[in-house]
Amino acid sequence: MLNREVLSASEVIYDGCQEQPIDLDISLPDYCPDIQRILKCQVCPSITSRSVSGDRLEVEGTCAVRVYYLDAGGKAVRCYETESPYLTAITLKQPSERPRVLTSTRVEYINCRPTSPRRLDIHGAFSVCARVCGSSDMEIVTSADDKDMEQQTKELSCSMFSSFSQQPFTVEDTLELTPGKTPAETILRTDTCAVLKSAEPMEGQVMAAGEVHLHILYASGNENAEPEFMEYVMPFTQLLDCDGISAQTTCRIQLTVSGVEIQVQEDYSGESSAFDTHVHLLASVTCFTPKTVTALVDAYSRTYELNITRKQKTLESLNSIVSDTCSHRFTVQCDDGLTKVLDLWSEPCTVTAAVENGELKFVGKLPICVLALNKDNTPFYFERSTEFTCTKPIETQTDTRCAAEGSVLSLNYHLAGGEMDLKAEILLTAEVYGLQTFKFITEIEEDTAHTKQQDTAALCIYFADAGEKLWDIARHYCTSVQAIQEENGLAGETVENQGMLLIPM
């Protein structure tokens, strides 16, 4: 009689990206002035929903293309934006009943050229990336009810994936302009970043608290006025539903911005003094539950030969979630006699992480975008990129896999001659998974045609080397570890010193 347990482990059923083309032939609407020179063409894809049916993953979203340009006068910065929906269908290698779906977007390239002062030819591509993990169940043997069978078991402690859910919610507020700021007429550009501050699990739910960091670049009605920007922090608390959560559960909440709606709002005097803001977020909640598994790792019978079937499996267990800010300072050379910075921002940064020599090492690349004025008071645009590293001490006893991401919380600068000194505050987060590979026993059969011969001697003398395992000695002489320990007054499972052992038969 074999006692069994179903072991459920996470298995990656898709990890890749699918490219989406961008092909646009645009005629500017009447309210947009003519184009003198293009400053920047920006692609901003977002994901609004994702769903899995069988072996098919569908990701829906919108892709906004923004063109920043100088108008016919050559002094005012303008923005034209167009938005279109998309649907990406990805085939998984197998269906899964409880998949964990994490998605993101990545801009591949974008080319934009004016064919006339009022027409644009835009070609590019972005990718929808997904990592889909399902549950892979395997039945293992935990013990056998057989008085003639010696058994060796091992206890495995891990934190296993237990449930996953996604929930959209909206953070909204009316954000006022700082006194003395020029009234807003049109919004040129926005940056939005959602930061999780805390997550408190309870039965079936988790209370998430965080902040939305919002940067708005806007233009006033005065054509000769320079663009201005405002920065806001919008706090939020949100109760998220997720089956299987308890107070003992470890939760990983990932927040992505799926859309931003901002309208310029007038006050009682008719001045545009506030922004009516709605930030749409999607919370992905992954739950990990502590679990202890006792597995039978070896066995032999004192009566019959055994045919043992084993199957190798890698258990992926969440070791820790590391989240911290990193300050990165760097210097870039200024172009075209830069005299004033109108706006400064970063494109999404790419981050990887790995455990090396007791440290969690983050490595990333940060693209910097600068909208500025030159010595002729003409707006211009340039880009730079910088690489950064950050290390954090970490303790782990197994091989690891890390999933990392980074968000820029703030960018500050100082102009000094022909250089710009910058400081970036980057929020870095990594999930560190321990990888343990075992050969589990899945079946045991007694070979009744081959009976083991019993030794007629009561004791045997064995000369053991230091470090030898008592299990190996007991298996060879078809006795038990406990019998050897009792006969020789041993407590451990290995031989401490070289010498003679009495083996009861």
Task: Determine how β-strand 459-464 pairs with β-strand 419-451.
Answer: unpaired
| Domain CATH number, residue 494 | 3.10.350.10
Q: Which of 322, 391, 404, 402 is nearest to 354 (CA)?
A: 402
| DSSP code for 250 | E
Instruction: Please give the residue range of the domain that contains residue 258.
Output: 155-292
Q: Is 415 part of any domain?
A: yes
pLDDT tens-place string over residues 112-145: 999 999 999 999 999 999 999 888 788 999 999 8
* In a shared domain, residues 176 and 56: no
Q: Is 326 part of any domain?
A: yes
* In a shared domain, residues 163 and 271: yes
Question: Could you give phi then psi for residue 289, rounded to 5 degrees?
Answer: -120, 135
> Rounded to an integer, what is the distance from CA 443 to the centroid of its chain?
37
Whole-model pTM?
0.85
* Interval 295-307 mean pLDDT: 89
Structure confidence at residue 456 (pLDDT):
62
Residues in CB range of 265: below 8 A, 6 or more apart? 174, 272, 273, 274, 275, 276
How many structural domains compose the chain?
A: 4
Residues in CB range of 378: below 8 A, 6 or more apart? 70, 74, 75
Secondary structure of 421-489 in HEC code, one letter for each residue: EEEEEEEEEEEEEEEEEEEEEEEEEEEEEEECCCCCCCEEEEEECCCCEHHHHHHHHCCCHHHHHHHHC
How high does pLDDT run on average in the chain?
A: 90
* In a shared domain, residues 115 and 238: no
With pLDDT > 70 as the criterion, what percentage of the chain qualifies?
Answer: 98
pLDDT tens-place string over residues 221-255: 777 788 999 999 999 999 999 887 887 788 889 99
* In a shared domain, residues 320 and 436: yes
Q: Compute the CA torsion angle 167, 171, 172, 176 (nearest 10 deg).
A: -160
Cα 289 from Cα 275, distance rounded (Å): 43
* Interval 378-394 mean pLDDT: 93
* In a shared domain, residues 275 and 339: no
* In a shared domain, residues 101 and 202: no
* In a shared domain, residues 409 and 492: no
Provide the token pair at 395.
Answer: 């303790």
* In a shared domain, residues 168 and 226: yes
Structure confidence at residue 270 (pLDDT):
67
Residues in CB range of 409: below 8 A, 6 or more apart? 193, 195, 213, 325, 425, 426, 427
Cβ proximity of 502 and 487 under 8 Å: yes
